[in-house]
Structure 1
Amino acid sequence: MARYVLHLAFDGDPGRLAARPAHREHLRRLKDQGRLVTAGPWADDSGALHVYEVADEAELRGILREDPYTAVNGYEVVLMKQWTPIL
């Protein structure tokens, strides 16, 4: 398994806010499956940070395709990078 950090940026589009409940349910399912370590928005709601535990980048991209925010173009990926935490 590999750990990936994902930094998202939001543009304030109301379509994203309408999709937020479904997006958060999607994240809860991923957390229950052990594929999402943690996730949350920046305090100013300008974006979010997610940490995933997945087989590879292809699996992470599949997760993003299924995210309700993707359907409404609710974010921009600022950073997607494999991460090796030491602590």
Structure 2
Amino acid sequence: MWIVELSLAPTAERLQARSAHRRLLASLCERGVVRMAGPLADDSGAVVVFDVPGRDDVERLLKRDPYLATPGVAVASVREWRPFTPVTS
């Protein structure tokens, strides 16, 4: 899995693109590609958790997101994540 952190600035363009961004995330969530996503509590950023094999897959998905082409939105970090899954017997 991959954690993508976005940094957000309060621009009108960003707010106008947000609904298209959320529609894309919802469709990716339905397909299991996005596990969870949402803004930080102070609205200074957001986190998206992708369940894809590699960073190239993440980059392709980010290029499809209209949010990232607007002023006020930038990718702050992309990090691979290996969540802990407890073993139960």
TM surpasses 0.5? yes
- CA-based RMSD of the aligned residues comes to 1.1
**1:3-18 equivalences in 2 (<5 Å):** 3-18=1-16
Structure 2: which 5+ residue stretches go unaligned? none
The alignment partner of 2:57 has SS state of: helix
Gap regions ≥5 residues in structure 1: none
Report which of the two structures shows the higher radius of gyration computed on alpha carbons: 2
One of 49, 54, 57 as aligned partner of 1:56: 54
TM-score (norm 2): 0.89
Equivalences, count: 85
Structure 2 counterparts to residues 33-44 of structure 1, below 5 A: 33-44=31-42
Q: State the identity as a percent.
A: 36
Report the Cα offset of residue 44 of structure 1.
1.3
- Normalised to the residue count of structure 1, the TM-score between the two structures is 0.91
More strand by share: 1
Letter matched to residue 30 of structure 1: L
Whole-angstrom CA distance in 2 between matches of 1:73 and 1:51: 22
Which runs of structure 1 show a deviation greater than 2 angstroms over 4 or more consecutive aligned residues?
none
1:57 partner letter: R
Quick check: 50-59 or 67-76, which moved more? 67-76
Aligned partner (choices 77, 80, 86) of residue 78 of structure 2: 80
Q: Which region of structure 1 is more displaced relative to structure 2, 57-66 or 70-79?
A: 70-79
